[in-house]
Amino acid sequence: MEAKKAKKVYVIGHKNPDTDSICSAIAYANLKQQISEEEYVAKRAGEISEETSYVLNRFGVDAPGLLTNVNLQVKDMDIHRVKGVPASLSIKEVWQTMKENNMKSMPITKDEALEGLITIGDIATSYMEGYDNRILAKARTQYRSIANTLDGEVIVGNEHGYYITGKVVIAAASPDMMENFIEKDDLVIVGNRYETQLCAIEMDVSCLVVTQGAKVSKTIQKMAGERDIVIISTPHDTFTVARLINQSIPVKYFMTKDNLTTFRTNEFVDDVKEVMTKKKYRDFPVIDKKGRFVGFISRRRLMTARKKRVILVDHNEKAQAVDGIEEAEIQEIIDHHRLGSLETMGPVFFRNQPVGCTATIIYQMYQEAAVEIDKTTAALLCSAIISDTLMFRSPTCTPLDKMTAEILAKMAGIDIEELAKNMFDAGSNLKAKTPEEICFLDFKQFSTNDVAFGVGQINSMNEEELQEIKEKVETCLETVRVRHGLNIIYFMLTNIIDESTELLACGHDARNVILSAFDLPEDEEKLILKGVVSRKKQLVPAVMSFLQQI
């Protein structure tokens, strides 16, 4: 049996991840890996934006792997890991292996792929069924298996050969009578009788099984060798040999190989439960993504499924979290947003600070742990702060954010203004994106008073680019709203230089909510929010405050 592998801890940001979400996950996983013996892996819950892609490419960092959900999967279960046996093994050998390992089912494999299954019930059937005397030949039984089953040895002939024609005969009669029931290619069980052995050889049988360890004369051995007849010597008496010999049949003859109920390691436990309720099997084989047999699961092992362990960064809202978060074991939350709707089964390490960026908190945690920040990590954290604070123009930006970014820029050897310009240019270059893809590049959902609303945002230093994006996005907002079951959708077109936002609104009373929340004239043609650049600190709080008063 194999030892259990230590489970990974996934460090992951929110859906539709922004630069802070991705860079903070990478940096925090790196920190945790250095101060803990656990394995920490950065993941992403959605596709990365053009801005984030630019940052990762510039600093030579691979994007974290995509993790679309953390629902319990078969691989999270306590899989009974066992090695399979080849189909050529005898029933007796397989039974002994199962008995020694207290197994009820045995996988039959070839090159790690599952060929079939044999259960205790199948083996019992093989013993109890009244098979005819040609069963060994039908099953293509190897002479070596016959010898091993009878605790004997092959003293003449090729032990690797197969018995493929004829029937099993006990030579209890006189040589004269043997001619009436022994045929060419039969397997003959015979005692210490020279004449009977000689008669069987002259009748050109395939194999002689000589019982009770009787000596076989050199003449008989020579004649058998010349005719390619196998001679097996066994210490057992004739009755015992007759009783045991069928146990030499290869397991492939009795195994179940068609319509096997198997599960893949990436299948979800909920789906597995549904299948198990309709099947009466004790054990179910598990196959990995490469088609290799892994082990068995059972109904009992469903109860011991180990939840995926996660650390959430840059969010604490259930609607923003990776799917299946309610089934995961949340170990930590590192965030800088308002307290959201996420619940945990037990106490967790929760660090939430009123700063402009999660990366600022991650930097502090490196300092507190006395872990040196490498040049690449410094560049990622600095990029995250630039992005989230709109190069310090956002009202969410604090003196600590700016100071941290400047320290990190010095560590990384980068120019903040040059990096910011290239990042924002990359983020607003969306010519290859569809309107819906643009809508969800940086999109978050919220709810209050039974009103579910989503807010997307694009930041740019170029007003012409924003207007081009506006023309593409406003045509798809209603479709997106209906498809995702939202009451309202807002889309922020934020001009970083002017420090203002043109807001697109879609949904029942969406426009009136903004007019009232920001005290704008009712005849306002465009929803221009001067000084509003932050979704988190300016737009969302104002919308939620108004909705809560309705």
Distance CA 308, CA 121 (A): 36
Give the residue from 221, 294, 223 showing the smallest Cα distance to 263: 294
For 325-336, how does the pLDDT look when each residue is reduced to its tens digit (9 = 90+)?
988 999 999 999
Residues pairing with 297 in the sheet:
284
For 507-524, how does the pLDDT look when each residue is reduced to its tens digit (9 = 90+)?
999 999 999 999 999 888
**Gyration radius of the chain's alpha carbons:** 37
Cβ pair 25, 52 in contact under 8 A: no
Is beta strand 40-44 parallel, antiparallel or unpaired with respect to 9-12? Answer: parallel
What mean pLDDT comes out for the span 125-134? 74
Query: What pLDDT sits at residue 130?
Result: 59
What mean pLDDT comes out for the span 338-354? 87
Residue 67 exposure: Cα atoms within 13 Å on the Cβ side: 31
Instruction: Rounding to the nearest 10 degrees, give the CA dihedral for residues 421, 424, 425, 426.
Output: 120
Distance CA 298, CA 293 (A): 15
SS (H, E, C) 231-274: EEECCCCHHHHHHHHHHHCEHHHCCECCCCCCEECCCEHHHHHH
Note the residue count of the chain.
550
Cα-Cα end-to-end distance for the chain? 62
Is residue 1 helix, strand or coil? coil
pLDDT tier at 17 (50, 70, 90 boundaries)? very high
Query: What pLDDT sits at residue 3?
Result: 43
Query: What pLDDT sits at residue 56?
Result: 98
pLDDT beyond 80 at 430: no
What mean pLDDT comes out for the span 344-352? 89
pLDDT beyond 50 at 546: yes
Looking at 485-531, list the stretches that DSSP marks H as alpha helix, in order from N- to C-terminal side: 510-517
Phi–psi pair at 296, nearest 5 degrees: -120, 150
Buried b (16+ CB within 10 A) or exposed e, 341-363: ebebeeeeeeeeeebbbbbbbbb
Q: How far is CA 425 from CA 81, 428, 431, 443, 506, in A?
A: 52, 5, 12, 19, 27
Cβ pair 206, 174 in contact under 8 A: no
Is residue 210 helix, strand or coil? strand
pLDDT beyond 60 at 1: no
Cβ pair 531, 515 in contact under 8 A: no
- At position 549, the amino acid (one-letter code) is Q
The two three-digit tokens of residue 362, written as one number: 């991650």
Distance CA 90, CA 117 (A): 14
Give CB contacts under 8 A, 24+ apart, made by 221-230.
221/155, 221/156, 223/198, 224/156, 224/157, 225/156, 225/157, 227/201, 228/157, 228/158, 229/156, 229/157, 229/201, 229/204, 229/205, 230/143, 230/154, 230/156, 230/157, 230/158, 230/159, 230/161, 230/206
The two three-digit tokens of residue 198, written as one number: 């000689």
Better pLDDT: 409 or 441: 409
Give CB contacts under 8 A, 24+ apart, made by 327-330.
327/70, 327/71, 327/72, 328/70
Query: What pLDDT sits at residue 78?
Result: 85
- The continuous run of DSSP H or E covering 486 comes out as none
Residues 6+ apart with CB under 8 A from 140: 162, 163, 164, 250
Query: What pLDDT sits at residue 523?
Result: 83
Cβ pair 481, 489 in contact under 8 A: yes
Instruction: Rounding to the nearest 10 degrees, give the CA dihedral for residues 340, 494, 437, 405.
Output: -70
Is residue 501 helix, strand or coil? strand
For 156-188, how does the pLDDT look when each residue is reduced to its tens digit (9 = 90+)?
999 999 999 999 999 876 766 777 788 899 999
Edge to edge, what strands does the sheet with 65-66 contain?
65-66, 40-44, 9-12, 309-313, 329-335, 349-352
Percent over 70 (pLDDT), the chain: 98
For 111-128, how does the pLDDT look when each residue is reduced to its tens digit (9 = 90+)?
999 999 998 888 887 776
- At position 33, the amino acid (one-letter code) is Q
Residue 372: is it exposed, middle or buried by C-beta count within 10 angstroms (0-12/13-18/19+)? exposed
SS (H, E, C) 412-467: HCCCHHHHHHHHHHHHHCCCCCCHHHHHCCCEEEEEECCEEEEEEEEEECCHHHHH
pLDDT beyond 90 at 319: no
SS3 content of the chain, % helix, strand, coil (to 5): 40, 20, 40
SS (H, E, C) 333-396: EEECCCCCCCCCCCCCEEEECCCCCHHHHHHHHHHHCCCCCCHHHHHHHHHHHHHHCCCCCCCC
pLDDT beyond 60 at 201: yes
- The gap from C-alpha 238 to its chain's centroid, in whole angstroms, comes to 55
* Residue listed under structure tokens 């969010």: 315
Average pLDDT, the chain: 90
Q: How far is CA 358 from CA 153, 365, 381, 384, 536, in A?
A: 73, 11, 9, 8, 13
Enumerate domains of the chain plus CATH numbers: 9-72+308-427 (3.90.1640.10), 75-126+253-302 (3.10.580.10), 140-248 (3.40.1390.20), 435-549 (3.10.310.20)
- CB atoms under 10 Å from CB of 512, counted, come to 12
